[in-house]
């Protein structure tokens, strides 16, 4: 059972990673906490659901959903963040304006779905199980692990090896200096928001598919987890977020399996607390990211 | 007027409770501590009062004092390890603290009533008591703002490294901020228990955290007027938007975005700043001397 | 605007109080106050939809006599206790409102009961918590407490199925579900069934992979899933996917009696036992007629909470009419009449609804089983 539970945890954790990457990316570049990220994630699941039931092939539904959530994220930047950013000192005001966006998106989803819990129709994805070394693994779990691995690798390559990635890091380190060097900060912001949104949208679709549940409030528990992951991993750190996501997934799985029920949350958050005491900047946090970002 | 009060009394009372919690949240932010522990402190205070008031014969006013002291003490203890953390890391650590408190409240069924919470708490608190308590806290906050401590808090918020180089013991002031924040939240948590008849862990969850942050950021993070304006907006918003039925939440969202975009310091702070600027402009007109000093951004 | 009318009604309230004369009206105002949004929306919205349909039909039929009707309005407290308290206080200040059908459940129901008793204003909360009744004479509950419903499924577990060991999965953060689960645990333990594991999930959870693996790899004769319908279907689906022994009996309580359960669970929930007050589609003339008209109006089939709302409104309407006929169309008159309702035709349970001397509602339950993708009466 132990190895089966670790596998469960890795699958859940890999989807947390997808969700948290966008969140940490926006934080890394903008030093802003985007509270509407959970709603973007939820929107991804919703859009793919409605595309699927109106007859679009599932793969196209996913593509369309990622495109749409990417655009939603850009819209969030334009509506909620842009004006505030220009004034400076946006950390706290941006929190409120993104809560505002969150309320709007959640309210729309609630009305569209009539408060019902939705799920992708049976057969959207073939249900098939394999026995590997006594482990029970589904085709869907394999596909999810593979997709997340490929996307994460692509994102890291993009950030580290391409011009865009260098621009992103330049803006993240010092926006003014980057602008002086001819980097168009606006375009960097729009691209990071698009990527963050599309990843969150995909995470929403995968979670909706994996756990048969799409619901207007589904973003909230994932926001809570994303906060944990992003901080444990070190704010703005892509690798940190991935490691922390997988750690969280596995810890949760094992806690459910082996610890007294009802105390899981207390233990997980207790551990989180301890990690922070030992490593005040998270597991992979560097002092600069913090000094630059978290105080007004 | 009396009938207005009669029909809207709960809104007024909840507004006053929110103002109280708002000051707890504000004092932390004001000292440069990104704490969201207010929810946890409030839960401690309110459960302390609720348990003592329903299961023991401890006099009511004493339960409130005990709740306040407990929350303040936990605030102080929490501050010791947290003083090492900054910014969002503090926020997450305090979030973890709140989650731990909540899950223990859910878990300790025999003692805390689990998900059902505690029922049958006597209603001992009315609008007047709340008004007096809010007034008291405002008086305390006003004095802190004018004291040396208030200036240190402002310095910590604005430029911690400078404050540190001037020999300020940052850890000590963060601990003080946590204790005050805990005491205020504990006090109002206890009052809330004695007002709403019944409490459950859910009351102090994510929703509470988001609400308090919104109140303080929307109202203003530095002035006395801040939490009042924030709580006022958050209390009135659901009421004026009520005819919009199911679109209400979306409209609330739009209003939050508009207000914070055009008044990024928060409504209360912007009002106070405007009066200050006007006052300053007048003084400068009167005498273009070099007397006016540098503490233009001190508290109200 | 709304605010203005509210102020007017508030000032007229004062006028009435001053002159000491109760309002006389041909229109009887009942407010359906439920959690249409927020955490309890999955109950409140559905109850409100059912209740509105009932009120419309009753008005159409001229239930209250020539020229009289129930003017009903729907209010939403967003599952927020603050809003519940302020809404009920405000409604209590409007003398034309006879009673409130609501609030929904959990803390909003308790808060509603408290303020209702304080302001002497009848409320019929959707919850099944005895605490609401014990709070005072003005607060009623609409659904049967766990002590009435759970013996149906507990007896079935222990006696009819004869299981020896059971794994229990419940909701940890909603008091109504916790109460049902505790009652079930107590009853089956008493009957000699051993509870081998006990897990709580949160209402917002959807990832049950770890839990499913844990239970699927353990050994037990039955699994009791005490969650809302959609979540329960999902848990059972994940249990099956994790390889749960197909011979394990799966049981649930009345929350499962919803078309959602079968729709979400598909083949995985085949054979699941549950109790239901509502048999989807209806099981007599009145309930089938309700099922048809509800689906016509809303575009989706009625579930247990829709049926409860519809039934609750029948009871409210009878109470209001009785109070009127007794010449006492006041809040006190309605409160007294409500507590005396007996054998009111409803669409749930054994088709009649009664309050006993302690104002505890009774309308019966049935043990059902999912058979060929539909709910059917379970074999004895």
The residue among A109, A115, A265 with the most chain C CBs within 10 A of its CB, best to mutate, is A115
pLDDT the model gives residue B210: 83
The Cα A136–Cα B144 span in angstroms is 62
Mean pLDDT, to the nearest integer, of A150-160? 90
Sorting pLDDT into bands at 50, 70 and 90, what band is A286? low
Q: Do C210 and A127 touch (CB under 8 A)?
A: no
How far B191 CA lies from chain A's nearest CA (Å)? 27
Hey, which residues 1-40 in chain C have their CB within 8 Å of chain A? 37, 39
Cβ atoms of C206 and A1 closer than 8 Å? no
CA distances from A19 to A14, A109, A229, C209, C361 (A): 9, 19, 10, 18, 47
Answer whether A220 touches B (CB < 8 Å).
Answer: yes
| pLDDT at residue B298 greater than cutoff 60 | no
Tell me: the pLDDT tens digits for C172-208?
877 778 888 999 999 999 999 999 999 988 888 888 9
Tell me: the pLDDT tens digits for C119-178?
999 999 999 888 899 989 999 999 999 899 999 999 999 999 999 999 999 988 777 788
Mean pLDDT, to the nearest integer, of A256-268? 82
| pLDDT at residue C300 greater than cutoff 50 | yes
Mean pLDDT, to the nearest integer, of A35-51? 95
- Alpha-helical regions (H) of B121-245: 127-146, 148-158, 160-165, 170-196, 206-219, 225-240
Chain C residues with CB under 8 Å of B248 CB are 37, 76, 78
Answer whether C2 touches B (CB < 8 Å).
Answer: yes
| pLDDT at residue C7 greater than cutoff 50 | no
pLDDT the model gives residue B1: 59
- Alpha-helical regions (H) of C68-222: 81-92, 107-119, 130-134, 146-155, 175-190, 209-216
Tell me: the pLDDT tens digits for B147-176?
888 888 888 887 777 777 777 788 888 899
Query: Interface of chain B against chain C, CB under 8 Å?
Result: 2-4, 6-11, 14, 106, 114-117, 119-120, 123, 196-203, 238-240, 242-243, 245-246, 248-249
Mean pLDDT, to the nearest integer, of A235-256? 89
pLDDT the model gives residue C320: 93
Cβ atoms of A206 and A143 closer than 8 Å? no
Which residue is closest to B1 within chain C, CA to CA?
Answer: C11
Q: Which residue has the tokens 């978290």?
A: A294
Mean pLDDT, to the nearest integer, of A86-104? 85
Q: Do C6 and B7 touch (CB under 8 A)?
A: yes
| pLDDT at residue C294 greater than cutoff 90 | yes
Mean pLDDT, to the nearest integer, of B230-256? 81
How far A138 CA lies from chain B's nearest CA (Å)? 33
Q: What percent of chain A has pLDDT over 90?
A: 38
Chain B residues with CB under 8 Å of C83 CB are 238
Handedness of CA A64, A66, A72, A75 (dihedral sign): negative
Answer whether A262 touches B (CB < 8 Å).
Answer: yes
| pLDDT at residue C18 greater than cutoff 60 | no
Q: Which residue from B32, B217, B249 is facing A103, i.e. has the nearest CB? A: B249
Whole-model pTM: value is: 0.81
Q: Which residue from A108, A266, A270 is facing B107, i.e. has the nearest CB? A: A266
Q: Which residue from A220, A227, A295 is facing B32, i.e. has the nearest CB? A: A295
Chain A residues with CB under 8 Å of C241 CB are 127, 129, 138
Instruction: Show which subunits contact B, needing at least 3 CB pairs below 8 angstroms.
Output: A, C
Which residue is closest to B263 within chain A, CA to CA?
Answer: A93
| pLDDT at residue C8 greater than cutoff 80 | no
Q: Do B3 and C13 touch (CB under 8 A)?
A: yes
Q: Do C207 and A211 touch (CB under 8 A)?
A: yes
CA distances from C337 to A289, C89, C340 (A): 68, 22, 5
pLDDT the model gives residue A291: 34
pLDDT the model gives residue C371: 92
Chain C residues with CB under 8 Å of B14 CB are 82, 85-86
> In chain B, count of helices (H) and strands (E)?
13, 0
| pLDDT at residue C319 greater than cutoff 80 | yes
More confident position, B137 or B293: B137
Across chain B, mean pLDDT equals: 87
What is the enclosing helix (H) or strand (E) of C276? strand C273-276
Sorting pLDDT into bands at 50, 70 and 90, what band is C1? very low
Q: Which residue has the tokens 């590997």?
A: A132
Tell me: the pLDDT tens digits for B28-68?
988 888 888 999 999 999 999 999 999 998 999 999 999 99
Q: Which residue has the tokens 């919703």?
A: A46
Instruction: Show which subunits contact A, needing at least 3 CB pairs below 8 angstroms.
Output: B, C
Mean pLDDT, to the nearest integer, of A34-54? 94
Answer whether C69 touches B (CB < 8 Å).
Answer: no
| pLDDT at residue A1 greater than cutoff 80 | no
Q: Do B3 and C14 touch (CB under 8 A)?
A: yes
Answer whether C167 touches A (CB < 8 Å).
Answer: no
Structure tokens at C85: 């308290």
Mean pLDDT, to the nearest integer, of A33-46? 93
Answer whether C240 touches A (CB < 8 Å).
Answer: no
Sorting pLDDT into bands at 50, 70 and 90, what band is B245? low
| pLDDT at residue A289 greater than cutoff 50 | no
What is the enclosing helix (H) or strand (E) of C229? helix C229-241
pLDDT the model gives residue A292: 35
Mean pLDDT, to the nearest integer, of A198-219? 91
Across chain A, mean pLDDT equals: 86
Cβ atoms of C256 and C229 closer than 8 Å? yes
Cβ atoms of C40 and C105 closer than 8 Å? yes
Q: A136: which strand partners? A: A131
Q: Do C85 and B248 touch (CB under 8 A)?
A: no
Mean pLDDT, to the nearest integer, of A100-114? 90
Residue C169: strand, helix, or coil: strand
pLDDT the model gives residue A290: 37
How far A119 CA lies from chain C's nearest CA (Å)? 7
Q: Which residue from C1, C93, C173 is facing B7, i.e. has the nearest CB? A: C93
Chain A residues with CB under 8 Å of B248 CB are 107
The Cα C50–Cα C304 span in angstroms is 10
Q: Which residue from A90, A227, A293 is facing B95, i.e. has the nearest CB? A: A227
pLDDT the model gives residue C64: 87
- In degrees to the nearest 10, what's the CA dihedral of C44, C45, C51, C57? 180
More confident position, C37 or B69: B69
| pLDDT at residue B5 greater than cutoff 80 | no
| pLDDT at residue C89 greater than cutoff 80 | yes
Query: Interface of chain A against chain C, CB under 8 Å?
Result: 1, 4-5, 8-9, 11-12, 107, 110, 114-117, 119, 122, 127, 129, 136, 138, 207, 210-213, 215, 217-218, 220-221, 252-254, 256-257, 261-262
Instruction: Show which subunits contact C, needing at least 3 CB pairs below 8 angstroms.
Output: A, B
Chain A residues with CB under 8 Å of C260 CB are 116-117
Which residue is closest to C44 within chain A, CA to CA?
Answer: A115
Sorting pLDDT into bands at 50, 70 and 90, what band is A184? confident
Hey, which residues 127-156 in chain C have their CB within 8 Å of chain B? 129, 131, 135
- Report chain C's C-alpha Rg in angstroms: 21
Sorting pLDDT into bands at 50, 70 and 90, what band is C14? very low
Chain C residues with CB under 8 Å of A262 CB are 172, 200
Say which range, B247-251, C218-222, C361-365, has the weakest mean pLDDT.
B247-251
More confident position, A221 or A296: A221
Q: Do C37 and B249 touch (CB under 8 A)?
A: yes
- Alpha-helical regions (H) of chain A: 2-30, 37-53, 58-76, 82-87, 91-113, 139-161, 163-173, 175-180, 185-210, 219-233, 238-258, 264-278, 287-293
Which residue is closest to B85 within chain A, CA to CA?
Answer: A280
């Amino acid at each position: 059972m132990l190895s089966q539970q670790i596998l469960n945890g890795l699958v859940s954790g890999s989807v947390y990673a997808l969700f948290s990457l966008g969140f940490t990316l926006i934080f890394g570049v903008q030093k802003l906490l985007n509270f509407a990220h959970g709603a973007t994630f939820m929107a991804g699941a919703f859009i793919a659901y409605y595309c699927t039931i109106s007859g679009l092939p599932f793969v196209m539904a996913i593509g369309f959903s990622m495109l749409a959530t990417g655009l939603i994220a850009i819209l969030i930047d334009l509506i909620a963040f842009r004006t505030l950013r220009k004034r400076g000192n946006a950390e706290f005001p941006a929190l409120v304006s993104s809560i505002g966006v969150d309320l709007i998106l959640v309210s729309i989803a609630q009305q569209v779905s009539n408060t019902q819990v939705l799920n992708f129709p049976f057969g959207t994805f073939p249900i098939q199980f394999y026995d590997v070394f006594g482990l029970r693994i589904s085709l869907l779990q394999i596909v999810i692990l593979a997709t997340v691995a490929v996307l994460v690798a692509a994102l890291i390559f993009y950030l580290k090896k391409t011009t865009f990635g260098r621009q992103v890091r330049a803006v993240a380190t010092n926006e003014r200096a980057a602008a002086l060097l001819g980097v168009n900060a606006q375009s960097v912001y729009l691209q990071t928001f698009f990527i963050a949104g599309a990843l969150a949208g995909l995470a929403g679709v995968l979670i909706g598919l994996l756990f048969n549940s799409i619901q207007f409030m589904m973003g909230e528990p994932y926001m809570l987890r994303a906060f944990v992951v992003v901080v444990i991993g070190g704010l703005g750190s892509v690798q940190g977020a991935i490691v922390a996501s997988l750690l969280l997934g596995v810890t949760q799985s094992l806690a459910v399996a082996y610890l007294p029920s009802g105390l899981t949350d207390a233990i997980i958050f207790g551990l989180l607390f301890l990690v922070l005491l030992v490593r005040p900047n998270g597991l992979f946090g560097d002092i600069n990211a913090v000094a630059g970002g978290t105080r007004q | 007027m009396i009938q207005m009060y009669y029909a809207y009394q709960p809104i007024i009372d909840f507004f006053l409770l929110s103002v109280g919690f708002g000051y707890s949240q504000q004092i932390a932010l004001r000292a440069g501590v990104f704490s969201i522990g207010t929810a946890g402190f409030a839960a401690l205070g309110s459960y302390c009062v609720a348990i003592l008031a329903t299961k023991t014969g401890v006099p009511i006013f004493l339960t409130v004092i005990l709740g306040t002291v407990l929350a303040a003490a936990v605030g102080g203890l929490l501050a010791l390890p947290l003083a090492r953390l900054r910014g969002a890391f503090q926020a997450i650590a305090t979030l973890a603290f709140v989650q731990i408190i909540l899950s223990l409240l859910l878990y300790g069924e025999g003692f805390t009533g689990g998900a059902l919470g505690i029922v049958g708490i006597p209603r001992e608190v009315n609008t007047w008591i709340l008004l007096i308590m809010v007034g008291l806290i405002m008086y305390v906050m006003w004095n802190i703002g004018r004291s040396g401590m208030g200036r240190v808090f402002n310095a910590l918020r604005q430029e911690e490294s400078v404050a540190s180089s001037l020999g300020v013991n940052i850890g000590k002031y963060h601990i003080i901020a946590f204790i005050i924040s805990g005491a205020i939240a504990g006090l109002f948590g206890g009052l809330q228990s004695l007002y709403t008849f019944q409490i459950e862990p859910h009351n102090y969850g994510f929703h509470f955290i988001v609400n308090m942050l919104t109140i303080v950021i929307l109202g203003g993070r530095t002035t006395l007027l801040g939490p009042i304006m924030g709580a006022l907006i958050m209390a009135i918003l659901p009421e004026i938007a009520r005819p919009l039925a199911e679109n209400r939440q979306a409209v609330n969202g739009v209003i939050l975005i508009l207000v914070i975009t055009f008044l990024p310091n928060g409504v209360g702070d912007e009002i106070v700043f405007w009066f200050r600027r006007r006052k300053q402009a007048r003084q400068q007109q009167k005498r273009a001397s070099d007397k006016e000093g540098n503490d233009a951004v001190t508290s109200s | 605007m709304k605010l203005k009318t509210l102020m007017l009604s508030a000032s007229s309230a004062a006028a009435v109080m001053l002159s000491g004369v109760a309002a006389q009206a041909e229109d009887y105002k009942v407010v359906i106050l439920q959690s249409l949004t927020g955490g309890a929306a999955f109950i409140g919205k559905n109850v409100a939809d059912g209740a509105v349909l009932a009120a419309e039909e009753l008005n159409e039929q001229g239930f209250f006599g020539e020229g009289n009707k129930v003017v009903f309005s729907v209010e939403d407290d967003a599952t927020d206790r603050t809003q519940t308290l302020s809404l009920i206080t405000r409604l209590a200040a409007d003398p034309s409102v006879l009673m409130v059908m609501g609030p929904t459940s959990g803390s909003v129901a308790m808060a509603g009961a408290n303020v209702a008793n304080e302001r002497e204003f009848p409320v019929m909360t959707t919850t099944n918590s005895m605490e609401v009744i014990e709070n005072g004479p003005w607060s009623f509950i609409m659904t049967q407490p766990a002590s009435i419903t759970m013996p149906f499924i507990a007896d079935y577990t222990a006696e009819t199925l004869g299981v020896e060991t059971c794994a229990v999965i419940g909701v940890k953060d909603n008091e109504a579900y916790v109460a049902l689960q505790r009652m079930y645990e107590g009853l089956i333990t008493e009957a000699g069934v051993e509870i081998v594991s006990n897990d709580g999930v949160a209402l917002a959870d959807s990832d049950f992979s770890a839990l499913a693996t844990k239970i699927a790899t353990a050994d037990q004769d039955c699994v009791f899933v005490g969650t809302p319908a959609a979540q329960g279907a999902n848990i059972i689906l994940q249990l099956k996917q994790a390889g749960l022994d197909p011979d394990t009996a799966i049981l649930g309580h009345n929350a499962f009696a919803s078309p959602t359960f079968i729709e979400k669970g598909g083949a995985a929930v085949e054979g699941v036992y549950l109790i239901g007050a509502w048999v989807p589609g209806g099981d007599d003339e009145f309930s089938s007629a309700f099922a048809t008209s509800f689906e016509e109006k809303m575009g989706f089939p009625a579930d247990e909470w829709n049926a409860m709302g519809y039934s609750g409104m029948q009871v409210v309407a009878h109470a209001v009419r009785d109070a009127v006929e007794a010449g006492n169309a006041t809040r006190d008159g309605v409160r007294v009449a409500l507590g005396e309702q007996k054998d009111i035709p409803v669409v749930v349970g054994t088709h009649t609804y009664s309050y006993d001397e302690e104002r505890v509602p009774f309308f019966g339950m049935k043990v059902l089983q999912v058979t060929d993708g539909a709910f059917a009466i379970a074999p004895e």
